[in-house]
């Protein structure tokens, strides 16, 4: 088989203005809730065969066009007045390290990423492990750093949650209704948190001069000057926030069923727990001749070793199986004593009977269409919802309007009209002079004919 030659694009063939697609990219968040169904099926040892019902729900977010947001700031300038305005938001945060004498602006996530992160955090706050106590914490400030350890966090470690206790088809239906209500609440709270965290402030500033030396404060260099060039009318500047519309969908994707076997290892979450304590490290360069080089390197290595030790997950299948069983409260006597590989798993006949019993319950409650089938459309119509909303962006649009009421006397207005008429007459006079110069013999581009008399 002949090897195909790679296609090489010449540098001059790259367009200066490439064509860009305008199709939006949708973000998807999947969540799984695990419920335990006890059945009447028993093993040869008299153990209850339990079936795990997994509720797979999905949040999809598709951005739309820009929309006009709320009024952020307005100012009215009198004739001839000037003002300097500066914008302050979360991107204007400034950090200064007095030890290294370095100043920097930390990387921060966008509004879209912040919206998804807060939505995922509020969804993970659902109290399905212990219904006897409330576990809720309101956060008005979230992590904006763009590094891997700071932007992921613990709440994104796993999208699956285990519900403690025994369930039936009727309790599962009630649980789905409550889960939908919680999803709507998380959706609304995430939008509110995004708008709160991305607040924008516009105000007047004055220029100032810094003498050379150490200073830990900064001046907003992004300030701009606005002025009113009119003589008789005031001008009002209106600053509007630009929002980005989005369509959010919540849907029940599937209801999965599987038999729980205490001797069968289950998969572990893909992302282990990484407790960073809300601290995100910023990379720092150290000079090779610095006397603190070894001390800084030792502290960095120690921190990395501790983080890896906390994030490590045991690869022993027996420990994984015990942890999985303990999460559902079904640790059996003698299971931990017998190594994995020497126990008999549940037979296929018992598995089929247990699944058939659970499917029959789900069909009676209208959760699935038929035994072994998918989610019923009636249930999806009840659980699914779709809505449109908007989140703020970093953009600001400025509109200006001139006041109809003048502050000048009639004589001043008449003088302005006469001034305009004078300027118009001067323009006509200048145009006439240019016309006469073009007809003048000495300003022609070609010399005069020698046969023509000059005097």
- pLDDT tens string 244-257: 999 999 999 999 99
Beta strands in 205-343 (DSSP E): 224-227, 235-260
What is residue 136's predicted lDDT score, i.e. its pLDDT? Answer: 37
Q: Reply yes or no on whether the pLDDT at 46 is more than 80.
A: yes
Query: What's the pLDDT tens digit per position in 58-114?
Result: 999 998 888 998 899 999 999 989 998 887 777 665 555 555 555 555 556 778 888
What is residue 60's predicted lDDT score, i.e. its pLDDT? Answer: 92
Query: What's the rounded Cα separation, in Å, for the pair 257 and 373?
Result: 11
Span 405-429, average pLDDT: 86
Span 143-151, average pLDDT: 40
The pLDDT-based confidence of 307 (bands split at 50, 70, 90) is confident
What is residue 360's predicted lDDT score, i.e. its pLDDT? Answer: 92
The least confident of 115-119, 134-138, 438-442 is 134-138
User: Which of 455 and 177 is assigned the larger pLDDT?
Assistant: 177
Span 318-327, average pLDDT: 50
Query: What's the pLDDT tens digit per position in 213-230?
Result: 444 444 445 678 899 998
Residue 49 near residue 345, CB atoms below 8 Å? no
CB neighbours (10 Å) of residue 340?
Answer: 16
Span 353-363, average pLDDT: 91
What is residue 143's predicted lDDT score, i.e. its pLDDT? Answer: 46
Residue 300 near residue 310, CB atoms below 8 Å? no
Percent of the chain with pLDDT over 90: 20
Q: Please give the angle made by the CA atoms of 350, 354 and 356, to the nearest 5 degrees.
A: 115
Query: What's the pLDDT tens digit per position in 235-244?
Result: 999 999 999 9
Query: What's the rounded Cα separation, in Å, for the pair 185 and 59?
Result: 13
Q: Reply yes or no on whether the pLDDT at 336 is more than 60.
A: no
Mean pLDDT of the chain: 75
CB neighbours (10 Å) of residue 147?
Answer: 14
Q: Reply yes or no on whether the pLDDT at 210 is more than 60.
A: no
Query: What's the pLDDT tens digit per position in 368-408?
Result: 989 888 999 999 999 999 999 999 988 889 999 998 888 88
Cα separations in angstroms, 428 against 77, 259, 431, 433 = 35, 96, 5, 9
Span 278-303, average pLDDT: 80
Sign, CA torsion 148/153/157/158: negative
Query: What's the rounded Cα separation, in Å, for the pair 367 and 378?
Result: 8
Q: Are strands 102-104 and 95-97 parallel, antiparallel or unpaired?
A: antiparallel
User: Which of 453 and 152 is assigned the larger pLDDT?
Assistant: 453
User: Which of 454 and 305 is assigned the larger pLDDT?
Assistant: 305
Residues 6 or more apart from 336 whose CB is under 8 A from it? 318, 322
The least confident of 18-22, 334-338, 354-358, 440-444 is 334-338
The pLDDT-based confidence of 127 (bands split at 50, 70, 90) is low
Span 265-291, average pLDDT: 65
What is residue 171's predicted lDDT score, i.e. its pLDDT? Answer: 86
The pLDDT-based confidence of 276 (bands split at 50, 70, 90) is low
User: Which of 222 and 148 is assigned the larger pLDDT?
Assistant: 222
Question: Domain coordinates of the chain in residue numbers?
Answer: 24-66+115-198+243-267+319-395, 410-443
């Amino acid at each position: 088989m002949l090897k195909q030659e790679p296609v090489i694009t010449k540098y001059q063939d790259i367009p200066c203005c490439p064509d860009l697609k305008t199709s939006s990219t949708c973000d998807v968040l999947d969540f799984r809730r695990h419920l335990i169904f006890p059945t009447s099926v028993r093993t040869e040892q008299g153990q209850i065969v339990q079936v795990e019902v997994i509720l797979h729900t999905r949040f999809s977010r598709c951005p739309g066009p820009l929309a006009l947001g709320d009024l952020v700031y307005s100012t009215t300038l009198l004739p001839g007045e000037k003002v300097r305005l500066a914008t302050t938001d979360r991107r204007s945060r400034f950090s200064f390290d007095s030890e290294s004498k370095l100043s920097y602006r930390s990387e921060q996530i966008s509004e879209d990423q912040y919206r998804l992160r807060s939505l995922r955090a509020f969804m993970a706050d659902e109290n399905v492990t212990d219904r006897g106590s409330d576990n809720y914490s309101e956060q008005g400030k979230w992590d904006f750093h763009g590094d891997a350890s700071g932007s992921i966090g613990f709440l994104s470690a796993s999208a699956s949650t285990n519900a403690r206790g025994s369930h039936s088809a009727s309790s599962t239906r009630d649980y789905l209704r409550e889960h939908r209500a919680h999803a709507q609440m998380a959706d609304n709270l995430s939008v509110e948190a995004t708008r709160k965290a991305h607040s924008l402030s516009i105000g007047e500033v004055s220029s100032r001069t810094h003498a050379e030396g150490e200073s830990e404060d900064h001046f907003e260099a992004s300030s701009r000057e606005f002025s009113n060039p009119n003589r008789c009318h005031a001008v009002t500047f209106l600053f509007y926030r630009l929002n980005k519309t989005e369509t959010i969908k919540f849907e029940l994707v599937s209801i999965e069923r599987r038999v729980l076997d205490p001797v069968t290892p289950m998969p572990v979450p893909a992302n282990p727990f990484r407790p960073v304590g809300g601290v995100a490290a910023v990379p720092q360069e150290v000079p090779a001749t610095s006397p603190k080089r070894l001390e800084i390197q030792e502290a960095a290595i120690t921190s990395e070793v501790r983080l890896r030790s906390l994030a490590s997950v045991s690869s022993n299948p027996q420990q994984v199986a015990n942890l999985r069983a303990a999460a559902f409260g079904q640790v059996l006597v003698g299971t931990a004593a017998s190594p994995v590989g020497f126990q008999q798993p549940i037979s296929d006949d018992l598995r089929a009977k247990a699944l058939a019993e659970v499917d029959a319950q789900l069909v009676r409650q209208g959760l699935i269409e038929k035994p072994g089938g998918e989610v019923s459309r009636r249930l999806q119509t009840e659980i699914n919802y779709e809505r449109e909303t908007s989140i703020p962006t970093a953009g600001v649009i400025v509109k200006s309007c001139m006041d109809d009421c003048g502050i000048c006397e009639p004589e001043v207005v008449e003088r302005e009209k006469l001034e305009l008429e004078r300027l118009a007459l001067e323009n006509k006079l200048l145009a006439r002079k240019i016309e006469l110069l073009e007809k003048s013999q000495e300003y022609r581009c070609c010399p005069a004919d020698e046969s023509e008399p000059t005097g």
